[in-house]
Amino acid sequence: MTATILITGGTGKFGRQFVEHFAHKGWQVLFTTTSQNNADSLIKELADEYSLIPLIVDFTQPQAVLELAQRIKDDGYRVNHLVNNARSRSFLQTDSLGQSSREDFLAEYLLDVVVPYELSMALFNMQPSELVTITNIGSQYGIVAANPALYADYPRQSPIQYGVAKSALIHLTKELAVRFAALDIRVNCIAYGGVSGRVDESFAARYAQLTPSGRMLAESEIIGPLDFLISAHCKAINGQTIQADGGWTLW
């Protein structure tokens, strides 16, 4: 029987990698995005023969999660694996002092913690016997504070709300793992390190000096930890955060 996976934030840097990987495995892939154009572009890029179902949703809206869950149910889909990956860089703002507004702080927490909680619970309530794994996409900054040496203009370039929200996501992972354990639903988190492709050479060089691996992660390395945690051979791992950061958090 073909597995069905729901990936939020499916057209972003990480999400595209996730969608492509599981599509190539022959899975039915549902993915969320805020843009129909981005969804169409991804589907065109991956070719039409894959089972890709785009779901256009704005998670900042109060009823967005419940409406999405109801749509999934009404369309006859049964989600086996949930990947909470949606985010928005627009909430990572700071002022001239490197401080964050209440609005940006709450919005970042909403997407990183509240929405993963709501969506996990909605799927659990709707189809508890179908759900197998939930994987939350976190960051090294949910484990350690940002290193000022990495930034040319710290703290303006390192919004505090990001790390605080990712830290809360790690604890949410533990709480959900305990609450869902009786039904053999595993909940884990991946704390990724920085991935090359969005930063300039000077940033990448500073990053390399601060991590044992001496480099940022490559895009090709993103999928491995997720594929591992979702695998049926990984049933012993529950409530854990895998630190896929090239050793950043060792120092």
Domain ranges of the chain: 4-250
**DSSP SS3 for 138:** strand
Two tokens at 55? 């779901």
Superfamily assignment of 4-250 in CATH? NAD(P)-binding Rossmann-like Domain (3.40.50.720)
Distances (CA, A) of 155 to 14, 16, 73, 179: 25, 30, 44, 37
pTM, two decimals, is 0.97
With 0-12 / 13-18 / 19 or more C-beta atoms within 10 angstroms meaning exposed / middle / buried, residue 191 is buried
**C-alpha to C-alpha distance for 104 and 240, rounded to whole angstroms:** 28
pLDDT at position 240 is: 98
In this predicted structure, what is the pLDDT of residue 48? 63
In 3D, which of 229, 221, 228, 227 has the Cα closest to residue 246? Answer: 221
Distance CA 103, CA 110 (A): 10
DSSP annotation string for 169-215: HHHHHHHHHHHHGGGT-EEEEEEE--BTTSS-HHHHHHHHHTSTTSS
Q: What is the pLDDT of residue 47?
A: 75
Predicted local distance difference test score (pLDDT) of residue 198: 85
Task: Give, for all 251 residues of the chain, the pLDDT tens digit.
Answer: 689 999 999 999 999 999 999 999 999 999 999 999 999 999 999 876 688 999 999 999 999 999 999 999 999 999 999 999 999 999 999 999 999 999 999 999 999 999 999 999 999 999 999 999 999 999 999 999 999 999 999 999 999 999 999 999 999 999 999 999 999 999 999 999 999 998 999 999 999 999 999 999 999 999 999 999 999 999 999 999 999 999 999 99
